[in-house]
Amino acid sequence: MQIGFAEKAGLIALAALIPFILLYLIRPRPKTLKIPSLMFFSKEYGRNKLLSFLRNFIRDWLFIIQLLLLLALLFSVAKPYTIYKHDITARNTVLVIDVSASMQAEEGLQTRFGKAIKKARASLGSTNTIILAKDVPLIALKEASSSDAIDFLRELTPLDTASRIGDAIILAGEALSEGRVVVISDFQNTGGQDPEIAKGILESKGLVVNFIDVAEKEVSNVGFTDVSLEDNQVTAFIKNFDEKPKTITLDINGDKKEISIPANSVEPYQFETPKGMTKLTITTSDDFDVDNVLYISAPEEDTAKVLLITNNESIFLMNALDASGLIGVEKTEPPVVKTGEHDVYVLHNIEKNKILTGTYEDLLKQVEKGAAVVIHAQDDSANINYGDLLPLKLTDKAEKSYLVVDQVNRFTKNIDFGSTVDFHFKTKDNRGVSLVSADNSSLITLYEKGAGKIVYFGFLEGASEFRFAPSYPIFWTELIKYMTDKQEINNLNYKTKDTLILDSKQKIILPSRKAVRQAVYLLEQAGVYELEDRKIAVNLLNEMESNLNREVSFGAKSVDYELRPVKEDRKFQFEYTLIILGAILLILELFYVKLRGDI
Q: What is the rounded average pLDDT of the residues 110-124? A: 93
**At 3, is the pLDDT very low, low, confident or very high (cuts 50, 70, 90)?**
confident
C-beta atoms surrounding 483 within 10 Å: 22
Q: What is the pLDDT of residue 474?
A: 93
Q: What is the pLDDT of residue 567?
A: 56
**At 60, is the pLDDT very low, low, confident or very high (cuts 50, 70, 90)?**
low
Reported as a single tens digit per residue, the pLDDT across 135-167 is 999 999 998 998 999 999 999 999 999 999 999
Q: What is the pTM of this model?
A: 0.68
Distance CA 494, CA 509 (A): 15
Q: Determine the 3-state secondary structure of 378 from DSSP.
A: coil
Reported as a single tens digit per residue, the pLDDT across 355-384 is 998 999 999 999 999 999 999 999 999 999
Reported as a single tens digit per residue, the pLDDT across 387-443 is 999 999 999 999 899 999 999 998 999 999 999 999 999 999 999 999 999 999 999
**At 208, is the pLDDT very low, low, confident or very high (cuts 50, 70, 90)?**
confident
524 compared with 90, residue with greater pLDDT = 524
Reported as a single tens digit per residue, the pLDDT across 470-491 is 999 999 999 998 998 888 888 8
Burial state string for 502-537 with b = 16 or more CB within 10 A and e = fewer than 16 = eeeeeebebeeeeeeeeeebbbbbbbbbeeeeebbb
Q: What is the rounded average pLDDT of the residues 523-552? A: 91
Distance CA 205, CA 324 (A): 61
- All structural domains of the chain: 2-85+572-596 (no CATH), 92-218+549-565 (3.40.50.410), 304-483 (3.40.50.880)
Q: What is the rounded average pLDDT of the residues 163-190? A: 90
Reported as a single tens digit per residue, the pLDDT across 258-287 is 999 999 999 999 999 888 999 999 999 999
Q: Report the half-sphere exposure of 37 (CA within 13 A, side-chain side).
A: 0
Q: What is the pLDDT of residue 586?
A: 79
How confident is the prediction for the chain on average, in pLDDT?
86
Q: Does the structure show a pLDDT above 50 at 45?
A: no
**At 50, is the pLDDT very low, low, confident or very high (cuts 50, 70, 90)?**
very low
Q: What is the pLDDT of residue 39?
A: 52
Integer-rounded Cα Rg, in Å, for the chain is 43
